[in-house]
């Protein structure tokens, strides 16, 4: 009967429309990896434990032992950085890489920085094997940080 055929076609159209909407929604919600401008920066992704930090007004050196807690970072390929204190997450931020001139006297050296979006804060980044060096950028009384990579 024509009514049954029309009803069946209508149900098929609704099902097809629902599937198309679901596919579009799923594709739009997929996490996208950030652009990594240099292959040496791929080593950043993963978790890192603070070994020491130095600088600030006093220029002193601090370690987990002198601070009384363990500080860690986790960088993801989706461009998120998570901060941890004694294993508990204390913060998060989106980040991206930029290529910037470093130094106060010409000729300037070009280096990569991690630019944190919500905090409007940047750090010079250098990775050597399982060691991460971060230096606060564009500030007075800046800190330098040394991290070691956690095993996967």
Q: What is the pLDDT of residues 33-71, one digit of tens each?
A: 899 988 999 999 999 999 999 998 788 899 999 999 999
Q: Each residue of 33-70: b (16+ CB within 10 Å) or e?
A: ebebeeeebebbebbbebeebebeeeeeebebeeeeee
Two structure tokens written together for 9:
């076609």
- Counts for the chain of helices (H) and strands (E), in that order: 2, 9
Q: Band of the pLDDT at 108, cuts 50, 70, 90?
A: low
What pairs with residue 54 in β-bridges? 61, 144
Which position has the higher pLDDT, 106 or 23? 106
Q: Is the pTM of this model over 0.85?
A: no
Instruction: Provide the CB-side half-sphere exposure for 104 (13 A, CA).
Output: 4
Residue 61's nearest CA partner among 151, 145, 3 is 145
CA–CA separation, 112 and 108 (whole Å) = 13
């Amino acid at each position: 009967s024509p009514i049954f055929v029309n009803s069946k076609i209508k149900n098929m159209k609704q099902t097809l429309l629902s599937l198309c909407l679901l596919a579009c929604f799923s594709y739009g919600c997929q996490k996208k990896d950030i652009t990594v401008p240099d292959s040496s920066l791929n080593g950043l992704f993963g978790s890192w434990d603070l070994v020491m930090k130095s600088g600030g007004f006093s220029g002193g050196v601090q370690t987990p032992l002198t601070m009384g807690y363990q500080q860690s970072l986790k960088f993801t390929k989706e461009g998120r950085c998570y901060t941890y204190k004694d294993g508990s997450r204390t913060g998060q931020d989106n980040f991206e890489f930029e290529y910037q001139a470093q130094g106060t006297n010409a000729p300037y050296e070009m280096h990569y920085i991690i630019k944190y979006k919500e905090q409007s804060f940047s750090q010079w980044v250098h990775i050597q094997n399982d060691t991460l060096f971060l230096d606060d950028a564009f500030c007075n009384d800046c800190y330098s940080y040394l991290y070691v990579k956690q095993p996967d």
